[in-house]
């Protein structure tokens, strides 16, 4: 998005959160990436760098020199500050790589933000007119509001460019991948910023009633980071997203757990509306070759036979549904208590279920115990585990849940399926269905096309037989 659209969208977000709209100027901070060219669209679009230049920007925008638009004095102040930082570098031990890195990043942020200060000042002068609110022309100094505004920039940029938001911890790029296949992308890039298109888009999205939804800023920070991870291809690992959330919230002085159900749902609705508005102006030509969405695109069989050995038997191709779709189906089916032990095959689910009160268990048998208590308290529970955890939960299942007919859904990640996995998972993968049959636990193997039916089947069997039931989830079913 261009800077004007960024400011409009940031202002709407800030007002929905009850924050100072003057912080909208921080949505323009990533323009510092214009120089040097090798940082274009990268440095100030990366979550790991936000804290460095956000501190500098708060200091610069609140300075007397910037308020007076005395850019010469601001330049002198910058040079003095850089000299102090460089003097600090001289006394740092060479072995203190982290210290050197932090100081050098602050020097870079200070230099670039002050160099672009006249541009920021111009943006402030025109933003108030553009948005229709004089407060937007006065830069805010609240750190949380500034962080929300800054986060909005890469979030809204994914409609235009892929963003490597989680560097250096993960290089996967976030973007509206499936959306791009549904529009005339090259025409969109060439014409979107023309006056007739961008003016109409700003008016339509800026005046949408969705902005009347009251939001909490802390959960919104969390939600924007989660959505950046969800929109990456491949999906960013849960631990990387979680680490990014924790670091930024800690920087903002927020230590409490943030429940973000409403804010994540808001993000999904906002994304759908932006997609719709752009799609109506730039539809994919009718003559274009059909393109499968990323979540439906079949995987290429990369099985290569070893010399002198037969090729492995081709496995069923898995295309997958998104974790968001899967969680929505569970919620709609009435499941309202979630516990378990993490499994890498379901990492996307754990990210989303955290917003629905997911309770982490130390072991799988403990998770079965918590699900039993939840059922007795009127809940409809789900226990998530890896198939290796079935062995750990045998006693709890046989002497508690099965004996006393406690209905719960066991969502089991099927490691070792088809004999293709790390060696320690192969035997367990082979005997998993047999183990469930021995326990007399009804089960189904999830297939993408029949997930809604399988979940409805599970609910019906739980209610009819008052028993645990299981759904086996192979790699790639949930993406």
Q: What is the pLDDT of residue 93?
A: 87
User: Strand order in 409-413's β-sheet?
Assistant: 359-360, 337-340, 381-386, 409-413, 469-473, 443-445
> Do the domain assignments include residue 99?
yes
> Do the domain assignments include residue 302?
no
Does residue 141 sit in the same domain as residue 215? yes
Does residue 130 sit in the same domain as residue 239? yes
Q: What is the pLDDT of residue 346?
A: 85
Does residue 55 sit in the same domain as residue 125? yes
Q: What is the pLDDT of residue 310?
A: 37
Low-confidence ranges of the chain (pLDDT < 70): 287-320
Does residue 145 sit in the same domain as residue 241? yes
> Do the domain assignments include residue 297?
no
> Do the domain assignments include residue 296?
no
Strand 173-174 and strand 232-233: the pairing is: antiparallel
Does residue 268 sit in the same domain as residue 331? no
Whether the ω angle into residue 234 lies within 30 degrees of 0, i.e. cis, is yes
Does residue 166 sit in the same domain as residue 28? yes
Q: What is the pLDDT of residue 309?
A: 35
Does residue 32 sit in the same domain as residue 85? yes
Give the global pTM: 0.65
- The domain boundary residue, chosen from 220, 254, 281: 281
Does residue 182 sit in the same domain as residue 49? yes
> Do the domain assignments include residue 304?
no
Q: What is the pLDDT of residue 288?
A: 58
CATH code for the domain of 361 = 3.40.50.970
- The domain boundary residue, chosen from 281, 314, 341: 281
Q: What is the pLDDT of residue 260?
A: 82
Domain that holds residue 200: 3-281
Does residue 330 sit in the same domain as residue 441? yes
The structural domain count of the chain equals 2
Listed residue (156, 211, 188, 301) closest to 21, CA to CA = 211
Q: What is the pLDDT of residue 320?
A: 59
Tell me: the pLDDT tens digits for 319-371?
Answer: 457 888 888 889 888 999 999 998 888 888 888 888 888 999 999 999 999 99
- The domain boundary residue, chosen from 252, 281, 310: 281
Does residue 235 sit in the same domain as residue 343? no
> Do the domain assignments include residue 307?
no
Does residue 368 sit in the same domain as residue 438? yes
Q: What is the pLDDT of residue 306?
A: 35
> Do the domain assignments include residue 318?
no
Does residue 355 sit in the same domain as residue 272? no
Q: What is the pLDDT of residue 356?
A: 85
> Do the domain assignments include residue 465?
yes
Q: What is the pLDDT of residue 75?
A: 93
């Amino acid at each position: 998005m261009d800077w004007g659209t960024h400011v409009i969208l940031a202002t709407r977000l800030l007002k929905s959160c009850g924050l100072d709209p003057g912080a909208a100027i921080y949505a323009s901070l990533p323009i510092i990436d214009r120089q040097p060219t090798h940082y274009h669209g990268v440095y100030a679009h990366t979550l790991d760098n936000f804290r460095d230049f956000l501190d500098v920007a708060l200091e610069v925008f609140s300075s007397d020199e910037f308020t007076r638009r005395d850019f010469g004095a601001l330049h002198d102040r910058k040079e003095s500050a850089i000299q102090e930082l460089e003097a600090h570098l001289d006394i740092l031990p060479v072995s203190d790589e982290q210290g050197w890195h932090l100081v050098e990043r602050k020097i870079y942020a200070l230099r670039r933000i002050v160099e672009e200060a006249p541009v920021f000042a111009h943006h402030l002068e025109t933003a108030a007119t553009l948005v229709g609110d004089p407060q937007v022309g006065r830069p805010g100094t609240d750190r949380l509001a500034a962080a929300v505004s800054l986060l909005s920039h890469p979030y809204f940029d994914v409609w235009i460019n892929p963003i490597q938001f989680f560097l250096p911890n993960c290089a996967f790029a976030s973007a509206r991948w499936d959306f791009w296949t549904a529009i005339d992308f090259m025409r969109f890039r060439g014409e979107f910023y023309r006056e007739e298109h961008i003016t109409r888009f700003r008016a339509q999205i800026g005046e949408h009633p969705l902005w009347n939804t009251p939001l909490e800023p802390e959960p919104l920070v969390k939600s924007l980071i989660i959505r950046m991870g969800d929109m990456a291809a491949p999906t960013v690992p849960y631990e990387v997203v979680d680490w990014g959330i924790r670091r930024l919230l800690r920087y903002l002085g927020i230590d409490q757990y943030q429940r973000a159900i409403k804010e994540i749902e808001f993000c999904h609705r906002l994304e759908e509306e932006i997609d719709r508005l752009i799609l109506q102006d730039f539809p994919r030509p009718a003559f274009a070759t059909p393109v499968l969405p990323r979540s439906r695109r079949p995987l290429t069989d990369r099985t290569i036979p070893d010399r002198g050995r037969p090729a492995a038997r081709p496995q069923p191709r898995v295309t997958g549904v998104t974790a968001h779709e899967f969680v929505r189906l569970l919620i709609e089916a009435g499941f309202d208590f979630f516990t378990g032990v993490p499994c890498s095959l379901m990492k996307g689910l754990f990210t989303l279920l955290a917003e629905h009160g997911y309770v982490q268990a130390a072991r799988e048998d403990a998770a079965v115990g918590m699900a039993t208590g939840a059922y007795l308290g009127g809940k409809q529970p789900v226990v998530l585990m890896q198939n290796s955890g079935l062995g750990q939960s045998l006693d709890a299942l046989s002497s508690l849940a099965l004996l006393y007919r406690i209905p719960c859904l066991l969502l089991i990640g099927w490691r070792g399926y088809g004999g293709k996995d790390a060696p320690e998972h192969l035997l367990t993968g082979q005997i998993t269905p047999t183990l469930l049959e021995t326990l007399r636990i009804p089960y189904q193997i999830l297939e993408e096309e029949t997930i809604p039916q399988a979940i409805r089947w599970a609910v019906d069997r739980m209610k009819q037989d008052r028993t645990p039931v299981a759904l086996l989830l192979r790699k790639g079913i949930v993406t």
